[in-house]
Structure formats: C-alpha cells, structure tokens
Amino acid sequence: MKRRHLLKLLLLYPASSWANSFFNLFSFFKKKEELPVITKMMPIDFHWPTQEPFLFCAYHFDNYPAGNKNMGLESKHFSGRQMGQDFELKDGFRIYHGQEIPGFPVHPHRGFETITIVRKGYVDHADSLGAAGRYGEGDVQWMTAGAGVQHSEMFPLLHQDQGNTLELFQIWLNLPQKNKMVPADFKMFWANDIPKIATDPKVQVSLISGEYQGQRFYEAPKNSWAQDPNNEVNILLVKIQAGGTFKFPKSKNKTQRTLYFFEGNGLIVNEQVIPAKQALYLDSAHELTVSSKTDGAKFLLLEAKPIGEPIVQHGPFVMNSRQEIYQTIQDYQRTEFGGWKWPRHDMIHGSKIEKFAKYPDGRVVRPG
C-alpha cells in the first residue's frame, strides 16, 4: 500500500476507534503478563516430581480385594509378582515390600519429614520410639524423623466381606541443617480437625498446612520447616465440581509452587487447558486461577520457600554432606535408631476398625 493511501486511511479512521484498539491491545498483553508462568509440565503416575524443600511425593491408589483372617491377601494374588519388591501395578494393586499384608515393614529415616495423607483406607504405624497408630479416611500423619527413627507403615485389609481401596499421598519435606538431628516426633491430624474451606459452593479445599481465605493451619511438629509462616509451606487438597473456580494468591516470598492434577479429564489453569494427570511447576509471583468447566477435578497443591542448603540423599537418609551420610550409616548400624521392640516387622493393630494414636510418652489419642 502506498504511503499516501495509508495516511488517508488513518485520517478517515475515527480517533476513538484507534484509542479503543490500542487500549484493547494493551489490555491483552497486560492480561497475558498476569498469567502464571507454567515453567514445566510433566505427566504423573506413581512417583511425582517435586521442588525443594519437598523431596518426594508418591501417590498410592490400590484397589485391594477383601482381606483374609490375617488382614492380608490370599496367596492366589502372589502369582506373577516380585514379592517383597512389588511395585508393578497388577490386578489394580501393588503389595510393595509386604509379604502378605501390603505396605512397608520396618525401615529407617533421618534428616527429613514424612507427611502421609490418607484419603481412603487405613494405615497402621509403629516405630522405634514405641509410638503407634491407626489412621485413615481423611486423616494425616506428620512425622519428623530428625536424628533417626525406624517405623513401619502397613495397609491392613480390615474388610473381609468387601474390597479394601487404599488412596494416599506420601510427601517428604526436608529439614534445615539446624533441625536435622532433633529428636524424632510425630503428630496426627484427624480428618475432622483439618480445615475444610468452601468459599465457592463448587470448590472444597482441605488445608493441611498454611493459609487460605483467611484461615491458618500451622500444626506441624515443632521443628518442622512448616512451623514458621514465613516459609509459606502450603499443602492443599482441592476438589472442584464442574463450573467451579479456585483462586490462590501470589506468594509473599519467592517460593516453589507445584500443582498435581491427579483426577479428572480436564483442568483450566489461568485459561490454559491442562490434560489429565499432569504436574505443573508454577511461578508463584502470579495469582493462580483454576477451573473445571465440563467435569469435576481434584488436585494437590504444594508450595514452600526453599531451604537453600546442600542436599545429599542416600535412600531414606537426607543430610547436607556425604560425610554426614557416612556418619548416619554408622549410627544406624550401631544403634538401629532405638531398635525394634515390636513382635513383628510388619506391625498391625488388630482387626477392630478404630483410629488411635499412641505417643512415645504413653498418651493415647482418638478422634473427637
């Protein structure tokens, strides 16, 4: 187009229209800038990728059949499995390190915390401090391994006349160097004590740690990184019905924020359509808006300020240097972190379906 023709068009086009066009263009780019940056997106299955200070996240979903009189599996289910190391999904479930009862018999930890969120089914806990418990159906156990503890985590099949579905998340949260050698500790959050927030009737939020919509829940053990609100350790389980919208503010500090979309067919994260079973690393400097227009969805949100210290991990030991790992191995060989005084390595607590937490000082606490 010749220059004089272009100038003629510009003169004929109303000034107000040009102003509106530039305003709309500016608004478009401004809106795009306000969207949170998805820095990484990855498919998820059993073990999920994490960002520091979170070290590990596993999602267990096992459709166990009816249990036998020992609260375990009938031997017919053992065929074709690598018993003792059964991590391949077969017939809808895994047996893990169990032999008859699924789960994780006695094993050690040092230098970090485990957060076990049980949505369905039950977990039996026993440890080298003499503590024990049975929890599930919405309960959360938060354990600080600190200087060292042995524990077992078993999944007793308490129902003999129906299936025993188990659904849980286990999250590992690092400890700062100053707290890596604190005494081991644990706390139980019963389902009814965990804040349930529903500012939108189509959205339900379980606040396991942190702050949301004016509610605060900082109940982690005293030496946890999550005890200090300035560390912004937010752990939320979110359920959205079709048509619902969840909003989460930008972080106050520089944090690592991860969204795990584990159930549903589609999710919209700040206008970007996300397929099922994805982990999203998000820029926490932006507000987060999540909606589900055609189907319900569930996701887990993990966020925290990084500890920012060196991490050296050897299996269930997480320290700051290789020398500390060598020392940990020697300590465990020498002390077994208090030894194991329970009658079995895959300790379970009877066939009666009841929840309890027994602490090392002998206190027994039950829901309600």
**What percent of the chain has pLDDT above 90?**
87
Q: What does the alpha-carbon distance between residue 199 and residue 246 come to, in Å, rounded to a whole number?
A: 9
Judge whether residue 26 has pLDDT over 50: no
Question: Which range among 71-85, 281-295, 341-355 shows the weakest confidence by mean pLDDT?
Answer: 281-295
pLDDT at 138: 98
Q: What does the alpha-carbon distance between residue 289 and residue 266 come to, in Å, rounded to a whole number?
A: 14
Model-level pTM?
Answer: 0.90
Q: What does the alpha-carbon distance between residue 107 and residue 142 come to, in Å, rounded to a whole number?
A: 17
Average pLDDT of the residues of the chain: 91
Q: Which of 325, 357, 49 is nearest to 221 (CA)?
A: 357
How confident is the model over 120-179, as pLDDT tens digits? 999 999 999 999 999 999 999 999 999 999 999 999 999 999 999 999 999 999 999 999
Judge whether residue 15 has pLDDT over 80: no
How confident is the model over 305-341, as pLDDT tens digits? 999 999 999 999 999 999 999 999 999 999 999 999 9
Q: What does the alpha-carbon distance between residue 79 and residue 88 come to, in Å, rounded to a whole number?
A: 13
Q: What does the alpha-carbon distance between residue 194 and residue 209 come to, in Å, rounded to a whole number?
A: 9
At residue 128, the 3 state secondary structure works out as coil
Domain layout of the chain by residue ranges:
39-73+99-148+155-323+334-349
Q: Which CATH class is domain 39-73+99-148+155-323+334-349?
A: mainly beta
At residue 34, the 3 state secondary structure works out as helix
